[in-house]
Structure 1
Amino acid sequence: MALPTSPASSWMQSMDFPSRLFETSSSDYELYEEDDEFVLSVELPGFDPEEISVTWDDGVLNIAAEHEDDGRDQRRTYHRRFRFPKTIDDEAIAAEYDNGILEVRLPVMAGATTRGKEIEVQA
């Protein structure tokens, strides 16, 4: 195995951390954590707010949008899933759509991290 010859970011990409921690395959979003909450901004130009669906299910945020233009006989869809590594206060999740940008705020529960357990290795 050869050592990386470029900056750390290139070899970090193959480790799926941190930029690939969330399930997506394009750069149409920005995700960061500030003041004990995740902030997700997704570019959804050309959609109306009622065409956008945001749902939360067991640590996964689903964003779906569908726009039909009957005049041009076109249909546009968008769907992304984002998995969050900490416990989110699902009662306090808020979403706002303004000027083609969907912003979702997901407050992290105080002191919460995702729970894990050690798995015994059988011989």
Structure 2
Amino acid sequence: MVPRVNAPSTWMQGLEMPSRLFGDSGSDYELYEEDDEFVLTIDMPGFETDEIELAWDDGVLNVAAEHVDDERGRKKTYHRRFRFPKVVDDESITAEYTNGVLEVRLPSAETTARGKTIPLEGE
């Protein structure tokens, strides 16, 4: 079997990380950049909205969910952490859960500093 190689998206170009880090390896999520925001969709069937918890902490999105089925004596859990390589405007993060799919939109923060001029000495 020939391994599938995914091309990095535009926000990953120039970063020193393997492109397969966010690539599709049969996972339950998709992450891409669209119109200056990250869009993360996660297939999470079988959960109710109030069973899903989202938390943002210093560049990391934590997604956790727990569903207890008392009739069958089963418990279903989900937990995953996503680290983002750019600054995200944490005040503008939105999330929606519809038909078993969680969609989280994380707008990129505007950064005013694009670097620093370094004085050059010499002749």
Q: What TM-score, normalized by structure 1, do the two folds share?
A: 0.74
Distance 1:74 1:36, change over 3 A: same
Q: 2:21 and 2:88 mapped to 1: Cα distance?
A: 19
1:2-57 deviation digits (Å, cap 9, x = unpaired): xxxx68828x9xx95223149xx860000000100000000000100000001000
- Structure 1 segments (4+ residues) deviating >3 Å: none
**1:44 corresponds to:** 44
How far did 1:111 drift?
A: 4.1
Q: Distance in 2 between matches of 1:31 and 1:18?
A: 12
Partner letter of residue 64 of structure 2? A
Change (3 A) 1:79 1:112: farther
Flag the 1:48–1:112 CA change in 2: closer, same or farther, 3 A. Answer: farther
Instruction: Give the CA deviation at 1:110.
Output: 2.3
Distance 2:80 2:26 in 1: 10
2:5 match: 9
TM-score for both structures, normalised by structure 2: 0.74
Unmatched 5+ stretches in structure 2: 9-15, 116-123
CA distance in structure 2 between the partners assigned to 1:101 and 1:41 by the alignment:
7
Question: How many equivalent residue pairs?
Answer: 104
Other-structure match for 2:72: 72
Look at both structures and tell me which one has the larger radius of gyration over its CA atoms.
2
Report matched runs for 1:23-102 at 5 Å: 27-102=27-102
Q: Distance in 2 between matches of 1:8 and 1:49?
A: 34
Partners of 1:7 and 1:49 lie apart in 2 by 36
Contact 2:31–2:39 (8 Å) recurs in 1: yes
Counterpart AA for 2:20: S
Task: Report Cα offsets for 1:82-111 as digits up to 9, x if no partner.
Answer: 000000000000000000000000000124
Structure with higher RCO (Cα < 8 A, 6+ apart): 1
Q: Distance in 1 between matches of 2:112 and 2:74?
A: 44
Contact 2:22 2:31 in 1 (8 A): no
Root-mean-square deviation over aligned CA pairs: 2.9
Question: Percent of aligned positions with the same letter in both sequences?
Answer: 58
